[in-house]
Amino acid sequence: MSKLDINTRVKLLDGNTIPQLGFGTYESDGKECYNSVLWALEAGYRHIDTAEWYENEAETGAAIRDFIKSSGVTREEIFYTTKLKVNGGYEHVKKAIRKSLKEAGLDYLDLFVHGPYPDKEARLASWKAIEEAVQEGLIKSAGVSNYAIRHLEELYATNPKVLPAINQIDVHPFMTREKEVEFNKKHNIAIEAWGPLARAMRFNNPTLQSIAKKYSKSPAQVLIRWSLQKGYIPLPKSVTKERVIANTQVFDFELTSDEVETLSGLDEYLVTDWDPIGDSSV
């Protein structure tokens, strides 16, 4: 495999590129969010992920703008993602996109993502609004979150003008989602891991501990490295400066192919937060 570093980017099916290591802001708000995003940018992250329902788009955007002013790094070097809160209909989504832009104080969104709830009609209406925003230049890349194979097939059946470039899913060694991964890869959809650390629920796993000890790394660093070597785009999150920095220190070691497979063998369908993919009602 080619050597990975903090500047490694993944080319998307629409021609845009995304930094492979991202920084998540879930359950982070106010000054805590602003500080963590600023620390992340100072540590070298160039990919920041937020969402309308995190209620921290303003703080995230402010940190990005302030960092740009103080560092000389350009807006184009920073990849900013936000996500729709509710598939509330075509007009609602059009307004939500513009509101997210205004909240962040940015001229465009690098990636805009929406999820599968509540139903087909709502999903497809959202995608129409997202397509139009892409064509208007408000959004560079369009994506989905927690889309199962059935949701993607439903979208493809409409012959969309804009194809989903990314699918954000819960994927880690304890939830490998092999069928979903295979389908997404077949359709050139990049996979983002929104919970690459499995919310620390398996940090004490003996296999994970053993591999971490071998490389003098933390379980979190091994999980991030696994995600990177699988070709995913992990979004680790922390509001502790030391951990924000530590989560970037994953490029000075490489798991063997056997270790990657051993970690993948830990799959237990561990749901760490929610599981729309496994929810047959949607």
pLDDT digits (tens, 9 = 90+) for 1-28: 579 999 999 999 999 999 999 999 998 9
* Catalytic positions: 54
Q: How far, in Å, are 50, 145, 182, 189, 206 from residue 266 at the CA level?
A: 29, 24, 18, 24, 11
Task: State pLDDT tens for residues 182-196.
Answer: 999 999 999 999 999
Q: How confident is the model at residue 274, as a pLDDT? A: 87
Q: Are 33 and 56 in contact (CB under 8 A)?
A: yes
SS3 call for 208 = helix
* Across 150-169, average pLDDT: 98
Task: State pLDDT tens for residues 80-136.
Answer: 999 999 999 999 999 999 999 999 999 999 999 999 999 999 999 999 999 999 999
Q: How confident is the model at residue 133, as a pLDDT? A: 98
Residue 274: CB atoms within 10 Å: 12
Q: What is the pTM of this model?
A: 0.96
Name, in order, each residue with C-beta under 8 angstroms of 221's C-beta and a sequence gap of 6 or more. 212, 215, 246, 247, 249, 250
Task: State pLDDT tens for residues 75-94.
Answer: 999 999 999 999 999 999 99
Task: State pLDDT tens for residues 21-73.
Answer: 999 999 898 999 999 999 999 999 999 999 999 999 999 999 999 999 999 99
Task: State pLDDT tens for residues 177-232.
Answer: 999 999 999 999 999 999 999 999 999 999 999 999 999 999 999 999 999 999 99
| Matching residue, tokens 């940018």 | 41
Q: How confident is the model at residue 1, as a pLDDT? A: 59
Q: Kindly state the tokens that stand for 187.
A: 């359709």
Residues 58-68 as b/e (b if ≥16 CB within 10 A, e otherwise) read: bbbbbbbeebe
**Average pLDDT over all residues of the chain:** 97
Which is more confidently placed, 2 or 138?
138
pLDDT of 176 strictly over 90 = yes
Alpha-carbon torsion angle 230, 36, 78, 91, nearest 10? 90
